[in-house]
Amino acid sequence: MQTLNERLTDTFSPELRIVLIGGNIVGKTSVVITILKKKQTKNLTRKCVMSEGEVDKRKVILIDTPGWWPYASVKETSESIKQEIMSSVAMCSRGPHAVLLVLQSGVAFTEAHRRSVKEHLELLGRNVWKYCIVVFTRGDWMGTPTIEEHNESEGEALQRLINKCGNRYHVLNYMEQNDREQIRELMEKVEMMARGNTELLTPAEAGMEETDSGWGSNWSEQDKLERGSFNLDPPEMHEEYITKWLENTEIVSDFRTLSDF
Residue 72 pLDDT exceeds 70? yes
Task: Assess contact for 88 and 21: CB atoms under 8 A.
Answer: yes
Per-residue pLDDT at 13: 74
3-state SS, residue 54: strand
**pLDDT higher for 255 or 146?**
146
Question: What is the tens place of the pLDDT at every residue in 206-247?
Answer: 554 443 334 454 445 554 444 443 444 444 555 555 555 455
Q: How confident is the model at residue 4 (pLDDT cuts 50, 70, 90)?
A: very low
Segment 144-149 shows an average pLDDT of: 68
Strands (E), the chain: 15-21, 49-55, 58-64, 98-104, 132-137, 169-171, 210-211, 214-215
Lowest-confidence region among 4-18, 53-67, 104-118, 207-221: 207-221
Segment 61-71 shows an average pLDDT of: 93
Burial class (CB in 10 A: 0-12, 13-18, 19+), 106: middle
Per-residue pLDDT at 145: 63
Cα 252 from Cα 258, distance rounded (Å):
8
For 115, the enclosing helix (H) or strand (E) is helix 111-121
Task: Assess contact for 79 and 63: CB atoms under 8 A.
Answer: no
Please report, for residues 8, 67, 117, 170, 185, the alpha-carbon distance to residue 102 in angstroms, rounded to integers and kept in the order given. 25, 10, 10, 10, 16
Lowest-confidence region among 58-67, 80-89, 98-107: 98-107
Per-residue pLDDT at 71: 86
Neighbouring-strand partners of residue 170 = 135
Q: How confident is the model at residue 80 (pLDDT cuts 50, 70, 90)?
A: very high
Residue 65 pLDDT exceeds 90? yes
Q: How far is CA 27 from the centre of its chain?
A: 9
Please report, for residues 107, 213, 242, the alpha-carbon distance to residue 148 in angstroms, rounded to integers and kept in the order given. 16, 41, 25
- Residue at 211: amino acid letter: T
